[in-house]
Amino acid sequence: MQPLILLFCLCRVFAAVDVFGSPFKPLRRCNASIVCGEADLLDSPLCGSDGRTYDSECDLKRVVCAGKAVKIHHEGPCSSAEKCPLDRSFQKALLAEDADVFVPKCNDSDGSYNKIQCHGSTGYCWCVSKEGRPIPKTHWSLREASTLQEAPKCEPRVGRRSNRRRTHVERNNPKACTFPDRTIFNDNLLKMFAREYGRLPEEAKRDAKTANLTTERAAAYWKFEELDSDADGAVSKTEIEGLGRIVRGYVKPPACARQFPEVCDSDRDGRIGREEWIGCLGDNFAKVEIQHIKASYRILDALRPPRLRNLASSAFNLLRNG
């Protein structure tokens, strides 16, 4: 891209977007891939007003460009004590305009996430870790459990079979890859990539594109470049076929592994681009994705069969991108 064209694009973006706190309206045609240059990726991490830690200011700008009204809360990563309160405050501000927004609950003692999170308008609850990560197979409907005493216990019980009522999706499709399952699968897959990346000689890791990134994120970028053998910016079915067999054989949960890598091809063109790859690997570092989406998508995604979930995801992406 010519410098003048890039400057024009940046001016259009930042004329409407101020990540330091000024009101703005996101541009419908904002292109997140050109918000900043390669040099901007080398910045220090920032804590966003949504409680998420961004690897650089560029990453935060991309999310703002995609339509999320996040601001810089402070330099450096968000602490565990402020993550949930910031998340809650950010979501409460969105609640005024959208009744479907999910607002998390926090523990007053240490600022961590309450172990049980519920969403009133959908009537669903689920268990989470102190960091807010959903715990697999713990979602239930308040319409099925008249009191919280009938709800499943969030602490795992060894040697005893859970008496939790299964949802209709679990009864009809016990091998479905739920939203919490997908979170665990992405974590396991990233750990596998990180182990491979860690075995590389140090000189092979000295790349400006991966400098100052977390190990998992650097490993994800490295793995994409390794798979993209013809360096055309996308991974074909042939290029990823070998990895797909390994993932299906060794990475858990199996229900999610069976959907890999097809689930990463969001536009269904038979190729996985770099943004699709990073977005597919989860919310740990997928900065272009809008993380705080409507709770109806965020929760009910865990209850859909895989085929319907993929269709819903594609429909949401079309609505989001206009």
Residue 316 lies in a domain: no
Q: If DSSP states are collapsed to H, E and C, what string results for the chain?
A: CCHHHHHHHHHHHHHHCCCCCCCCCCCCCCCHHHCCCHHHHHCCCEEECCCCEECCHHHHHHHHHCCCCCCEEEECCCCHHHHHHHHHHHHHHHHCCCCCCCCCCECCCCCCECCEEEECCCCEEEEECCCCCECCCCCEECCCCCCHHHCCCCCCCCCCCCCCCCCHHHHHCCCCCCHHHHHHHHHHHHHHHHHHHHCCCHHHHCCHHHCCCCHHHHHHHHHHHHHCCCCCCEEEHHHHHHHHHHHHHHCCCHHHHCCCCHHHCCCCCCEEEHHHHHHHCCCCCCCCCCCCCCHHHHHHHHHCCHHHHHHHHHHHHHHHHC
User: Rounded to an integer, what distance in angstroms lies between the CA atom of residue 132 and that of residue 138?
Assistant: 14
Residue 18 lies in a domain: yes
The residue with greater pLDDT, 178 or 87, is 87
Most confident stretch, 81-85, 182-186, 220-224, 236-240? 81-85
Residue 297 lies in a domain: no
Number of domains in the chain: 3
- Do 33 and 7 fall within a single domain? yes
- Reported as a single tens digit per residue, the pLDDT across 200-222 is 887 777 664 665 677 888 888 88
Residue 239 lies in a domain: yes
Most confident stretch, 6-20, 100-114, 280-294, 301-315? 100-114
Of 78, 113, 142, the one marking the end of a domain is 78
- Do 184 and 162 fall within a single domain? no
Q: What is the CATH number of the domain that holds 281?
A: 1.10.238.10
Residue 85 lies in a domain: no
pLDDT at position 292 = 35
Residue 151 lies in a domain: yes
The residue with greater pLDDT, 281 or 239, is 239
pLDDT at position 182 = 82
User: Rounded to an integer, what distance in angstroms lies between the CA atom of residue 261 and that of residue 272?
Assistant: 9
Q: Residue 135 belongs to what domain range? A: 96-172
pLDDT band at 70 (very low <50, low <70, confident <90, very high): very high
Residue 225 lies in a domain: yes
Average pLDDT over residues 41-64: 84
- Do 156 and 238 fall within a single domain? no
The residue with greater pLDDT, 283 or 286, is 283
- Do 106 and 128 fall within a single domain? yes
Q: What is the CATH number of the domain that holds 141?
A: 4.10.800.10
Q: What is the CATH number of the domain that holds 64?
A: 3.30.60.30
Average pLDDT over residues 195-204: 82
